[in-house]
Structure 1
Amino acid sequence: MPVLERDPWRLQYFEHVPCPDHVGIPTDDPDCWQLFPAHRWIYDKLKVAETQGLAAAPHGVMPASFPVFSKPVTNLKGMGLGSRVIRSAAEMEIHYQPGHMWMPLLGGDHVSTDCAVENGRIVWLRHATGTTWDDGTFRYWTVHAEAFPDLAARLAGWVSGHMAGYTGMMNFETIGGVIIEAHLRFADQWCDLYGAGWVEALVRLYAAGRWDFADANRRDGFSMPLFARHGGAYRHPPAALQAKVRAMPEVRSLQITFHEHKPPQDHAMPPGGFRLAVINAASLAAARAARRSLAEAWEPKLILSQD
Structure 2
Amino acid sequence: MPIYQTDPWRVPFFAGVPCPDDVIIPTKDWEAWTLYPKHRWIYDKLAVALSQGLDAAPHGVIPPSFPVFSKPMMNLRSMGAGSLPIPDAETYRASLNPGHFWCTLLTGAHVSTDAAIVDGHVRWWRHATGATAPGGTFDYWHIHAEAMPDIEDWCGAWAREHLAGYTGMVNFETIGSRIIEAHLRFADQWPDLYGPGWVQALVHLYADGDWVFDDSGRRDAYSVVLFGPHGPAYRHPPAELVEQARGIDGVSSVQISFHQDRDPAQHSMPPGGFRLVVINAWMLQAGQAARERLKPAFFGLERR
Is residue 151 of structure 2 the alignment partner of residue 151 of structure 1?
A: yes
Report the CA distance between 1:23 and its aligned residue.
Answer: 0.7
TM-score w.r.t. the length of structure 1 is 0.92
Moved more, 31-40 or 127-136: 127-136
Question: In 1, distance between residues paired with 2:91 and 2:240?
Answer: 53
Partner of 1:105: 105
Identity among equivalent pairs (%): 58
Report the CA distance between 1:6 and its aligned residue.
Answer: 1.5
Alignment of 1:123-134 (within 5 A): 123-134=123-134
Q: Partner amino acid for 1:262?
A: R
Measured at CA, do residues 86 and 298 of structure 1 come closer, stay the same or move farther in structure 2, by a change above 3 Å? closer
Partner of 1:164: 164
Partner of 2:85: 85
SS in 2 for 1:290: helix
Gap regions ≥5 residues in structure 2: none
Deviations 1:52-82 (A, max 9, x none): 1112222222222222222211121236432
TM-score w.r.t. the length of structure 2 is 0.93
Question: In 2, distance between residues paired with 1:164 and 1:114?
Answer: 17
Alignment of 1:58-73 (within 5 A): 58-73=58-73
Question: In 2, distance between residues paired with 1:208 and 1:78?
Answer: 29
Contact kept? 1:221, 1:281, Cα under 8 Å: yes
SS in 2 for 1:160: helix
Question: In 1, distance between residues paired with 2:270 and 2:242?
Answer: 24
Partner of 1:203: 203
Report the CA distance between 1:291 and its aligned residue.
Answer: 1.9
Q: Partner amino acid for 1:48?
A: V
Is residue 285 of structure 2 the alignment partner of residue 285 of structure 1?
A: yes
SS in 1 for 2:136: coil
Question: In 2, distance between residues paired with 1:283 and 1:235?
Answer: 27
Gap regions ≥5 residues in structure 1: 303-307
Deviations 1:215-270 (A, max 9, x none): 01111110011233444443322222222322321211110112222233433333
SS in 1 for 2:39: helix
Deviating runs (4+, > 6 A) in structure 1?
none
CA RMSD after TM alignment: 1.9
Partner of 1:74: 74
Question: In 2, distance between residues paired with 1:234 and 1:90?
Answer: 38
Moved more, 99-108 or 177-186: 99-108
Alignment length, in residue pairs? 302
Measured at CA, do residues 162 and 265 of structure 1 come closer, stay the same or move farther in structure 2, by a change above 3 Å? closer
Q: Partner amino acid for 1:148?
A: M
